[in-house]
Structure formats: C-alpha cells, structure tokens
Structure 1
Amino acid sequence: MTDVLAAFEAAKGFMPLDEGLALYAAARQAAAVLGLPLLEVGTYCGRSTLLLADAAAGAGTVAVTVDHHRGSEEQQPGWEYHDPTLVDPQTGRIDTLPVFRRTVYEAGLEEHVIAVVGRSPQVAKVWRQPLGLVFIDGGHTDEHASGDYQGWAPLVAEGGLLVIHDVFPDPADGGQAPYRIHQRALSSGVFTEVAVEGSLRVLRRSAGELVV
C-alpha cells in the first residue's frame, strides 16, 4: 500500500489523498467481495487508476479505465485546470495518454490495467460484463455526467459499488452535475450511500432494476 500511495501522490491529478484513500478502501472491498473488474470513467493521467489497479491486483481481477484522453472542459486552454505540458505539439490538442501510460508503467501495474481509449457513452454501449465498482470522474457538464451515469450505473453488480467524485451539494463549492447524478442514484431505490469523504461518495447497489 505504501508504494501505490507514493505513486499516487507523485502522479499528475487533482484527487486529494483523503479521497484517494476512501476510493482505495472501496475498491479493495469491492474487488475482494465480488472479484469483478473495477472500472473508472475519467482516466486523465492515471492518478486514481493506480489505486484501482492495486486493489484489483490483490483480488486477481483488473482495473478498466475509460477516457478519450483529450481532456475535459475545464482542462482546455484558457480554463482553470489547463496544463500546457499535456498539449501535443503536433496536433495542438490535449493528449494525456502518454503520461497515463508512463504513470502506470512506473508503478509496475501495467498488467493489471485495461485502458480503453474512447468516449464513455460509446464504450458503455458495447460493454456487457457486470462490474464490481464503477468510479465516475469524467466530464462535469450535465451532458457528460448524465451520460456516464446512464451508461455505467446499470452495469454495477448487485452488492457492487458506485463511486462518484466531485459531489458538491453547495453550488459555491463546485459544479453541480456530479451532485445531480448522485441524487439520481439515491432516488433510484437501488443505491444506498455507505461512505462519504470530502467530495467523494460511495454507494452500494442492492437488488432491483435500475431505471435511468
């Protein structure tokens, strides 16, 4: 655990350590109980992927990470989270894929990660295997957050976990799209909140059909 947390803190990304620890605990629990793949939406440079991969490795499963690697809205030029070192000089566009690959390689976790390069709703349409955990940390517009929830929440296995990042009940603290899908999950009747850490919410799926 010490090694993966050191790699987590060294990697590019925005998740604070306390929320990372909460995600890691959820991932380890889901992997150990269900033995199913752990999936995240929103790879960026692989900071949180390391936690899921280490948890998956310990349970003999894999971490799947889905991202188009062109950056979300707030990472584009002129916005708050833009990092010019991530711009491909040949295309002039954000490209986080090379940094992600290096992050996972340096942590020694490549064999435990499946990286899917594509847009989340398109990937979700062709994914059929149940998942032990889904971590939603992609685009923060209503369109993107809603698409992530609608595409992936139904694939969480009974007893599995849905984890949502950047949930801010107070609009003064941040964007509301992740909060709104969090509320949708709670009102669905099949997800129950089991842990809160900062802006991270962990919900467990019970039996029943999820209507999205």
Structure 2
Amino acid sequence: MTKDHEGRRHKPSAMTLTPAAMFVLAVTLAAGEKICFPPKAEYKLLATVSLDDLYMACDYDQGKIIVTPANDTKGDMWTLFDLNTHRTYFQPEKGKCLYKECPTTELMAKCLPDGAQFLKTIDNHDMYAMTSTTGVSWVLGVSKIEGSDLYHKYLSRVTLYGSVLDIAVSYQCSDSISDPTVFERDLSVCQEVKIGSRKGKEPKLEREN
C-alpha cells in the first residue's frame, strides 16, 4: 500500500493487456480476498447496446442463472446458465431450444475467480476484469450490500474476441427471487450446438445432427 499527500491508502497500480483491451491501473486480487454474491438474487438490467430491458435471477444454491425479457419472465425467450454442468441453454423468440458446452461459466460463479483484477472504484462501485481461455472477457462492477460481506452486480460488459457483445447496467436488485418457478424450463427438448474455433477467430457453431 502507498499513501497520497492526504494520508489516504492506495493499492499499487500496474499496466496489463488482456485479449479485449488495455486495463489501466489493474491490480490482482489479494490472496484470500473474495468478492461473493448472495445465494439468491434477482436483477433488472438495461442492456445499453441492444437497448433490451432484461430480468436476471441468480440461484447459486442450485447453480443456475436465467435471463429473460424484463416484461415476460415466463415467456418463450430465455437464456439459462447451468453452473454445475457448464452448459448454456438458450431459447430464441422463434426456433428450437439449443444448448452448448460453455466452460466460461466460471466467470458467473458465486464468487469472482482468483484471477479477477481490480481496476478502480467509481461512485462506490468496485470494477473488476476477468478473462478466460476461450476468448471471453468480462468487466464487472459490484456494490457492497450494506451490513454484509456480500455484493450485488451493478455493471457488466462482456467481450468476445475483442468485440463488445453488450454492456448491462442494473437498475433494480433484490437479495431474493420473487418467483423461483422462473427456472422451470423443459431442457430435455434442447438440441446441442457444438463450438469449433480457431485461435484468434470467433467460434463457429455446428449443430449436431
């Protein structure tokens, strides 16, 4: 730690280059320091690129996260992340339900991975950066829950091979899930989609016959 002229403590800074972008003043999380989220939580999010209004429920007890339109949580369009099987299921507005093996779900676990890098604090939101070996990078802003050691998700930017997929900002959050049946989806009808990719290029989707 270093101190400025007013005696405030600051973490040492370092320059580091991720596959997505140059992160300035990045610091690796100290050993044993964990940023974790409530066992159950739900959020309403505004996706600032697609302008979609989204609902997200996180149930870490059963290892599932689901994202739906905010105004149609029981509708026919949703994405479900199974953190236990490392599969992502997605049901488009039209068409069949699909799923794919998705090892990058570790970025969505109950706690940030040990390799998460602290960027800086902006308006009481701590910003962290994470990367995976599959070309996915994630910048996540978190807010500490008052009277707790846990955090809420505030801002999320996902990048795939250098291209920003979307940036979502949370405008409403809760430490519980108002309707747990939101996770009840028929996953048995979903068809597998395999991913084949070459280094430095976006993955190619191959549907199984």
Q: TM (normalized to structure 2)?
A: 0.28
Q: TM (normalized to structure 1)?
A: 0.28
Higher alpha-carbon Rg: 2
